[in-house]
Structure 1
Amino acid sequence: MDFLSIHGARENNLKNISVDLPKNKLIVFTGLSGSGKSSLAMDTIYAEGQRKYVESLSAYARQFLGELRKPDVDKIDGLSPSIAIDQKTVSHNPRSTVGTITEIYDYLRLLYARVGIAHCPECGAVLTSQTIDQVVDGLLAKVKREYASDKIVQKFGFRFMITAAPISGRKGEYEQVFMNLRKQGWNVVRVDGEYIDLKMMLPQLDKYKQHDIEVVVDTLSISKNVLDSENLLKEVRSRIFQSVEAALKLQPTFVRILEIRDKVLGISAKPSAVLVNDYSVTKSCKQCGISVPDFEPRDFSFNSPHGACPECDGLGVIKKISTEGIVDGKRSILAGGIMPYAKMLERDSYFRRLLEMVCEDHSVSIHTPVSMLTEGKLDLILYGTGEQKYKVTYYSSQDGTERSLHAKYEGIIPNLERRYKETNSEFIRTEIEKFMTTVSCPTCKGNRLKDIVLAVTVSDKNIAELCDLTIKDFSDVVEKFPKDLGVKSLAIATPVVREILLRSQFLLDVGLEYLTVSRTATTLSGGEAQRIRLASQIGTGLSGVIYVLDEPSIGLHARDQHRLITTLKQLRDLGNTVIVVEHDRDTILSADLVVDFGKGAGEHGGEIIAMGSPAEIMKSKTSVTGPYLAGKKSIAIEVEKLMKENFSKNKKLNAFLATRQLARQADRYIEISGAKTHNLKDLTVKFPLGKFVCVTGVSGSGKSSLVVETLLPVLKKTLGLRTDSPDTVFKNLYVSDVVDKMLYIDQSPIGRTPRSNPATYTKVFDDIRELFAQTKDSKVHGYTASRFSFNLRGGRCEACKGEGKIKIEMQFMPDVYIDCDVCFGKRYVSEVLEVMYKGKNISDVLNMSVDEAAGFFSEMSMIREKFEMLQQVGLGYLKLGEPAPMLSGGEAQRVKLSAELGRRSTGKTIYILDEPTTGLHFADIEKLVAVLKTLVATGNSVFVIEHNLDFIKEADYLIDLGPEGGNGGGEVVATGTVGDIRKNPRSWTGKMLKELEI
């Protein structure tokens, strides 16, 4: 069948859609947010493909997976196996990295285990190993070479001693070592070059000097006749083998051969001229006494105890108590200056008495603000007084009797860190974590692995150094590996290197060259994670599959869109059907088929309003998207209309226009200098206040490093807010005007379970529950607002604990939520559902869209206003009870923004947003820009990281970073208005804005 035929799709807001989609084509679903794109792509096509797959499994396998709900569709013909690559499936495991996700790291572990060169982790010497046979053969080969070229050997013969060196360059007296050697029958030892007979005496060594102790196991002389006789040589070889074997029992890592160079016939009892040669049978360093095993791939895994750093368990970071986090400098010790123990010090306790004795003993005032204490005195309180003991008399909290105890004072920080490690209580652990910060592991320096593993190199780079390179640099280095390897190693490495380069190339193809292989998965954006999975899929080479992608262009600069589009076409050309839910202009124009959904969102959407090639969509009179693609509609004009509409019912309109003019004229700014976080190159950047500022640049250029990981934590600290950003590096922050509030609105979920939803997050549900509690039915039954909470016993369904959904763990596939079979997804018990307000129960209200609810509660101004905020950010289509796990990152971000809009603005607030256009259609971007400009109009400042050119065009001021990503970025390329950026030849953003203008 050449078509994927969908008949009667009614999932979510879809209105009985029937459509034939051609197979093996690149198909783009576009339209307003909430118009039904994902409902058809993800919730119908992919969901039915997943359900059919589970049905094809054995009954035994299905019993573990449960039964998946059939999407609300009559039938789908021509359905192939389906794979979804969405933006929500981002790993939350701190052990996952770009390397582990793509399997690059698995191949690297194999490469380093098989061809890596081991070094001593202490001195860096190369460590080699041999078998006993190789040692003997190497020694005999040396004998033959010496007879051919060495005159002393030709005249006096090749004379040598086979020794074991149990002690090499180490301090000590070693009396017990000598006694044990004598008991075992070893009589002659060489101590620091001097020969001693242990039968006659035991050496007396200086314990503070370094010593070398060598046990003489055997002494031999090989003449030329022996070399010429096969039988004699065989006998000598056997003797050497046994002596080497005996020596290795005394020193299992290497055997030492002392070649005698005295110019006398025979062998002196105490030869003076010797040449030392060590033959290692393990990878060991005789200088440092360190030996390493033969490595296996697992030894290079930071997820295995064999390779993981023991200090941080392979995470590369550890949690440590933050001095700043536990001290309130404005208060004294007894008044809560040591925050973790504030309550304990309020009452008479053992700990308080101990601390009072310490303070008295060291003249530390317990009534002086902590900030007034000297650094040395504060250190005593925080880090303890060592071994000193104090006699503490206190009253037992159990029986009230007086007791005495001699105790050490370990200090606040060591005490908290010890309790954190020892406790089994999750509550105590969580409480202590409030005072901790994440820092790079001091043992492995953030490299996650043991030191002996990090001492293994290929082409002079250890595995951590290699993984810290960007994908582009990494590929260049790995490509040169074969040139640095020997013949044997090359044969082993060639197929492994091929697989590594193949996977690296896929990442380069989707515009991720700026990522490092060691980049933690938790720090990836939804778009980056999606493109990594996309790259992995191309690597599988599958064909005949339906791929469903949800906005793969998220976080990608306009410059790199063509590379992503090429990858999508490559996936199609393998013989797959590629369905992409997308709003990006270039991706839509590159599609074989565009399906436009609308005409509105929610109940006003769910229909296909236009379908055809990009050219046909641009000509369509019914398409919402077409006019924007054809240039018939401009976001700038629509934004002005929306702003006037927002203020049309507001008396502040004139004040808004005046404020806007003042905000543009006033020279108010924040300046951060010396920013060096990650790849930032000692930047000094000025952020104008009272303006709509966009931070732009190609992916990996340093936008998040500057705004989210430098400016944000520094502002938090300035405003007295807690921050956990150990990697922030800067010199100074200057703020020219008062900033009394700072809000970071990101795309993290508003909750992890179906309990969280837009109604609960915006607090409008509290008002709705109060309203239901005031109804006649509630008063008759004595119901309070808590009865209408799905988080509390009494009103909620206990089968699903008020979630309305049951989670099915899908083992190797993403978890699936199905409707509870007791309450049928309604969350509440039947008694609560009998309470009505204007003919609707509480579950009906949660199933309303924001637009419906705004009309339903139009008479209740407090409730209506919160819905209007959600409508302003383009979320009118969203259901009030939409479970948090079902929201996209962009939707979650706009829910947070609406909640902030509902709060009272001081006019001196900084709003920081990270890619807010995620998931937004051109028409939705208009609404978002209008809201942000409204915030700026009332004196606030808006700083946004963004790639969307239509959004960027509307900014008052741009800060463009680059010029490239990773090591090639981290610089300020251009600053100024959109017009200024367009004129800058170094700016990629400027070039793309200029092309958009054309």
Structure 2
Amino acid sequence: MIAQADHLCELGPGSGKNGGSVVFSGIPSDLLAYKDSQTAKALIEFTEEKIVSKKTSPGGTSYRNITLKQVLTNNLDIPEIRFDENAVTAVCGPSGSGKSSLVFDTLYSASQNSLMDGLSFRIRSQLKKAGNAALDEYTGLMPAIALEKKSASGNPRSTVGTYTGLYDLYRLLYSRFSKNGETACPHYSNAFSFNNEAGACPDCHGLGFITQCDAEKLVSDPSKPLLQGAIDGSKPGKFYGEPDGHYVAALLAVGKKYSIDFSVPYSELSADARSIAMHGCGDETFDVEWNYKRGNVSGVHKMKSKWPGFCGHVEEEYTRVHNDHRAEQILPVMSNLVCPSCNGFRLQKERLQYRIGEKNIGEVTGMNSIQSIEWISTILAGSGSENIVAEIIQRLKYLVESGIGYIGLGRITSTLSGGEFQRLRMSALLQSQLSGVMIVMDEPSFGLSKSDCSRISQLLKNIVQRGNTLVMTDHHPEMIQLADRIKVLGPRAGKQGGRLIKEVSATEYISEIEKTYSQVVAAKSSSEVVLRVSGATANNLNNIDAQFSGETLNVITGNSGSGKTSLLQYVMYDSHMAGRPVKCRSISGFENFDSVVFIQQDVPSGSAASIPATWLGLYDTLKNIFAAEAARLKLPLKATHFSVFSKEGRCPECGGTGVIKTSMDFRSDSETVCESCNGARFRSDILNVVVDGFSISDVLNMGISDAAEFVQKNTTAAKAASFLTIADLCSRCGVDYISPGQNLSTLSTGELQRLKLIQGIASAKGKTLFLLDEPSGGLHPTDTLRLLHLFEHLVKQGHTIICATHDEMIRRAAANNLILQ
């Protein structure tokens, strides 16, 4: 620590009465001449290279290597690899070649563990464990920050303002300098927090909206009567609309009193009748005669009951279960309405009376960054507010520099597009003002257009010039141009990857990418329009019209935040699910398809408790083959015994994981192969059941393509059909090397992305409309080329694809491009 100092002051020469004088003041290298100095004697033991004799300015050109030796994490096999300090290094290669294993599981993990070694036990206990990097030696590591690719939290309380810390600053500003007329604010800053009872609106609890049952969503088929399936399209609707249930009996009692015939189609009911059926009759009580039927039991039950309406019943249930997983079944029929008490500002009315510059805090957070800078630069909040205002302006400028200055500070983060959220995270890096830190990033170009990438690459360049080191995985040419060197892993994925193939310049690598781009062939255009959308208004869509051709590849493109996902998901897919136009004037064409499959852009999270065999629906076929063999041998084993998730068959020592975990307290858990099953994950009697020379553990460890051959040999064509179809899709996507029993947590982003696509495509029935949102996330251009071949295969089968993307290769391959501004 002393040797790294910019300036040194030593007191002494001894202690107590023999001390109290300045022995030396200056830079460490000059101290070595003072032979009477105790500190000098200690420093002499260090080599001259380790002594920093003068301060090095951030962004200086003096590079130092970060070196990793004998890296064996996951599928890696790299004898030695080096990364330059104060430089940008891009790690590239096919999806599954080990990029994330190198950058996150090794480089970042080793950096974090090295840093934690110097921290106290108490601090280490509060930090997230970074994992165990498998390597023999490292040098030159530094504190690291990881920015993995992820989606925004679904928490409705997380806004752009709270995420960036701007709302905290505004709360502080309003608690100190706002006024209600001539009265100064007497409240603490938590009185302006919608996440605190002191400030939150009591009606919406600080959410800004009230969740209510939407009658239009609940009534799934208006052509049917309420008594015969009009609301059967959802789980709550089917429950409350059961013809023999007491809720329908109560509705009939209401109809009898008010002379309303609820046996006619819902669409033929008057507005008053619909209101009564959906929203009830207040506190009025009715005499209900319920003719119940439960199996062979039937009878009549008479009771007095109020009628809150079908929507009222659904809302009562939602109130009970909204905090647990059961709410997911109710949400499809619910809508968020602006809270009439706080007008969406989330705060108590009294708090909204306090103003600065004629605006309350809710109105201020409703502005975007550009408007906010203009407003706050003109106000005179009061003496002492200068530092707060300066910090607010600086953070707003970071948002503008990140290219998201148009987004309101009150916008919920989960409504941001993938590219917008990516840039929001970048703005946090800008405001950190860190220096001497290594930043590792997973595909910073994800969700960004070409122009967006240029802006972000410049921001990252500025961050590196402060004296930071950047290591990233990416394939976008605009982002690759930023790199000083490219480390290419490969040559392929999985067990055939994990090696450092070469190191090249950005120019050389971009040239290789362009060669892959040149292999793209545009899909044949179709003159037949099969889907039309008119007056789309979701989020920032400005009353747009769009049309898409059938049996071909259609692409929706445009800058990040232009409304691609809004059109694809919140207009087209939601309209299909609702059976009516949603956030648009009209939509037609779904009748041209037997099914509609939507695959969203969120990358599925890998889980140690999930494997491709269960995720893709392959496991039942495998279990049934071994169960049939057990039955032939007259063993008391069923299909469930051959599941690693079943207590009946899995190894009792390791719980079916194949490893024994030992808690290391302040380190990541240590894993050793289970001695009981030798990593096979099953009990010995289960492993003794062998088919064609393979146990269930052997088959789970095969590649999916090899497992498909095993299935084809050992079961009937009919039983193997589903497995072989999915295996064929895996082969076309280039992930057939993945083992059916491999934990999803060990898969790369690109591998998970393709498995998600396969899962969605396999669910299609008949002539299908595929709605794909950023399907090439995490994919190398060669992987994207495979994906385009799969699209071509689907189109030839008569399917239609509409894809929202920035990917240059998919755009080139499209027959039709819809560009949003």
How high is the TM-score relative to the length of structure 1? 0.68
Larger CA deviation: 526-535 vs 573-582? 526-535
Question: Take 2:396 and 2:664, find their aligned partners in 1: how far apart are those partners?
Answer: 30
**1:628: which partner in 2?**
512
Seen in structure 2, the aligned counterparts of structure 1 residues 605 and 773 have a Cα distance that, compared at 3 Å, is same
How far does the alpha carbon of each residue in 1:854-885 deviate from its partner, in whole angstroms, 9 at most, with x for none?
56657466434422211212324544344445
Is residue 606–residue 746 contact of structure 2 (8 Å, CA) maintained in 1? no
Structure 1 counterpart of 2:483, from 591, 595, 598: 591
2:229 is the counterpart of 1:370: no
2:61 is the counterpart of 1:7: no
Is residue 301–residue 449 contact of structure 1 (8 Å, CA) maintained in 2? yes
**2:137: which partner in 1?**
75
Letter in structure 2 aligned against 1:484: I
| Structure 1 residues 378-457: aligned runs within 5 Å | 378-392=274-288, 405-422=303-320, 432-433=330-331, 435-457=333-355
SS at match of 2:813: coil
Question: Take 1:794 and 1:469, find their aligned partners in 2: how far apart are those partners?
Answer: 59
| Structure 1 residues 108-127: aligned runs within 5 Å | 108-118=170-180, 127=181
Rg (Cα) greater in structure: 1
| Structure 1 residues 469-868: aligned runs within 5 Å | 469-478=367-376, 480=377, 483-485=378-380, 489-615=381-507, 618=508, 625=509, 627-629=511-513, 631=514, 633-637=515-519, 664-718=525-579, 728-735=582-589, 738-750=592-604, 753-775=607-629, 779-796=633-650, 828-850=682-704, 853=707, 859=713, 862=721, 863-868=723-728
SS at match of 1:492: coil
2:814 is the counterpart of 1:958: no
Is residue 750–residue 761 contact of structure 1 (8 Å, CA) maintained in 2? no
2:251 is the counterpart of 1:358: no
Is residue 890–residue 916 contact of structure 1 (8 Å, CA) maintained in 2? no
Seen in structure 2, the aligned counterparts of structure 1 residues 5 and 389 have a Cα distance that, compared at 3 Å, is closer
Question: Take 1:439 and 1:882, find their aligned partners in 2: how far apart are those partners?
Answer: 44
Seen in structure 2, the aligned counterparts of structure 1 residues 344 and 476 have a Cα distance that, compared at 3 Å, is closer
Seen in structure 2, the aligned counterparts of structure 1 residues 502 and 741 have a Cα distance that, compared at 3 Å, is same
Seen in structure 2, the aligned counterparts of structure 1 residues 404 and 755 have a Cα distance that, compared at 3 Å, is same
Seen in structure 2, the aligned counterparts of structure 1 residues 337 and 529 have a Cα distance that, compared at 3 Å, is closer
2:360 is the counterpart of 1:462: yes
Seen in structure 2, the aligned counterparts of structure 1 residues 889 and 467 have a Cα distance that, compared at 3 Å, is farther
Seen in structure 2, the aligned counterparts of structure 1 residues 468 and 549 have a Cα distance that, compared at 3 Å, is same
Question: Take 1:108 and 1:37, find their aligned partners in 2: how far apart are those partners?
Answer: 41
Question: Take 1:735 and 1:671, find their aligned partners in 2: how far apart are those partners?
Answer: 6
**2:788: which partner in 1?**
929
Is residue 212–residue 336 contact of structure 2 (8 Å, CA) maintained in 1? yes
Letter in structure 2 aligned against 1:874: G
Is residue 480–residue 510 contact of structure 2 (8 Å, CA) maintained in 1? no
Q: Following TM superposition, by how much is the alpha carbon of 1:924 offset from its aligned partner in structure 2, in angstroms?
A: 1.1
Seen in structure 2, the aligned counterparts of structure 1 residues 743 and 338 have a Cα distance that, compared at 3 Å, is closer
**1:234: which partner in 2?**
none
Seen in structure 2, the aligned counterparts of structure 1 residues 37 and 301 have a Cα distance that, compared at 3 Å, is same
**2:774: which partner in 1?**
915
Is residue 602–residue 876 contact of structure 1 (8 Å, CA) maintained in 2? no
Seen in structure 2, the aligned counterparts of structure 1 residues 316 and 105 have a Cα distance that, compared at 3 Å, is same
SS at match of 2:820: strand
Letter in structure 1 aligned against 2:819: D
2:146 is the counterpart of 1:84: yes
SS at match of 2:414: helix
Structure 1 counterpart of 2:201, from 305, 309, 320: 309
2:111 is the counterpart of 1:49: yes
Is residue 534–residue 545 contact of structure 2 (8 Å, CA) maintained in 1? yes
SS at match of 1:517: coil
Question: Take 1:849 and 1:369, find their aligned partners in 2: how far apart are those partners?
Answer: 54
Question: Take 1:464 and 1:942, find their aligned partners in 2: how far apart are those partners?
Answer: 42
Letter in structure 2 aligned against 1:756: S
How far does the alpha carbon of each residue in 1:464-509 deviate from its partner, in whole angstroms, 9 at most, with x for none?
333333333333433x2xx331xxx343332112212222233333
Is residue 716–residue 742 contact of structure 1 (8 Å, CA) maintained in 2? no
How high is the TM-score relative to the length of structure 2? 0.81
Letter in structure 2 aligned against 1:784: K
How far does the alpha carbon of each residue in 1:740-780 deviate from its partner, in whole angstroms, 9 at most, with x for none?
32111113355674333332222122222222323359845
Is residue 514–residue 700 contact of structure 1 (8 Å, CA) maintained in 2? no
Seen in structure 2, the aligned counterparts of structure 1 residues 837 and 331 have a Cα distance that, compared at 3 Å, is same
Seen in structure 2, the aligned counterparts of structure 1 residues 456 and 712 have a Cα distance that, compared at 3 Å, is farther
Identity of aligned residues (%): 30
Letter in structure 1 aligned against 2:167: Y
Letter in structure 2 aligned against 1:558: K
Letter in structure 1 aligned against 2:805: E
SS at match of 1:484: coil
| Structure 1 residues 106-255: aligned runs within 5 Å | 106-118=168-180, 127-129=181-183
Larger CA deviation: 65-74 vs 511-520? 65-74
Is residue 514–residue 699 contact of structure 1 (8 Å, CA) maintained in 2? no
Seen in structure 2, the aligned counterparts of structure 1 residues 7 and 341 have a Cα distance that, compared at 3 Å, is closer
Is residue 750–residue 884 contact of structure 1 (8 Å, CA) maintained in 2? no
Question: Take 1:8 and 1:436, find their aligned partners in 2: how far apart are those partners?
Answer: 55
Seen in structure 2, the aligned counterparts of structure 1 residues 678 and 90 have a Cα distance that, compared at 3 Å, is closer
Seen in structure 2, the aligned counterparts of structure 1 residues 713 and 391 have a Cα distance that, compared at 3 Å, is closer
Is residue 250–residue 286 contact of structure 2 (8 Å, CA) maintained in 1? yes
**2:187: which partner in 1?**
295
SS at match of 1:451: coil
Is residue 369–residue 409 contact of structure 2 (8 Å, CA) maintained in 1? yes
**1:320: which partner in 2?**
212
Q: Following TM superposition, by how much is the alpha carbon of 1:428 offset from its aligned partner in structure 2, in angstroms?
A: 6.7
How far does the alpha carbon of each residue in 1:213-271 deviate from its partner, in whole angstroms, 9 at most, with x for none?
xxxxxxxxxxxxxxxxxxxxxxxxxxxxxxxxxxxxxxxxxxxxxxxxxxxxxxxxxxx
Question: Take 2:551 and 2:290, find their aligned partners in 1: how far apart are those partners?
Answer: 59
Is residue 788–residue 842 contact of structure 1 (8 Å, CA) maintained in 2? yes
Larger CA deviation: 427-436 vs 318-327? 427-436
Is residue 330–residue 369 contact of structure 1 (8 Å, CA) maintained in 2? yes
**2:756: which partner in 1?**
896
Q: Following TM superposition, by how much is the alpha carbon of 1:47 offset from its aligned partner in structure 2, in angstroms?
A: 1.4
Seen in structure 2, the aligned counterparts of structure 1 residues 914 and 778 have a Cα distance that, compared at 3 Å, is farther
Is residue 534–residue 587 contact of structure 2 (8 Å, CA) maintained in 1? yes
Question: Take 2:642 and 2:173, find their aligned partners in 1: how far apart are those partners?
Answer: 60
Q: Following TM superposition, by how much is the alpha carbon of 1:557 offset from its aligned partner in structure 2, in angstroms?
A: 1.4
Unaligned runs of 5+ in 1: 119-126, 130-282, 284-292, 619-624, 641-659, 963-998
Seen in structure 2, the aligned counterparts of structure 1 residues 111 and 766 have a Cα distance that, compared at 3 Å, is same
Structure 1 counterpart of 2:733, from 846, 864, 873: 873
How far does the alpha carbon of each residue in 1:826-850 deviate from its partner, in whole angstroms, 9 at most, with x for none?
6544543454445554344444444
Is residue 417–residue 561 contact of structure 2 (8 Å, CA) maintained in 1? no
How far does the alpha carbon of each residue in 1:497-550 deviate from its partner, in whole angstroms, 9 at most, with x for none?
221222223333333334332232223455544443333233222222221100
Question: Take 1:383 and 1:346, find their aligned partners in 2: how far apart are those partners?
Answer: 18
SS at match of 1:18: strand
Is residue 671–residue 735 contact of structure 1 (8 Å, CA) maintained in 2? yes
SS at match of 1:951: helix
How far does the alpha carbon of each residue in 1:165-195 deviate from its partner, in whole angstroms, 9 at most, with x for none?
xxxxxxxxxxxxxxxxxxxxxxxxxxxxxxx
Is residue 747–residue 890 contact of structure 1 (8 Å, CA) maintained in 2? no
Structure 2 counterpart of 1:34, from 89, 93, 96: 96
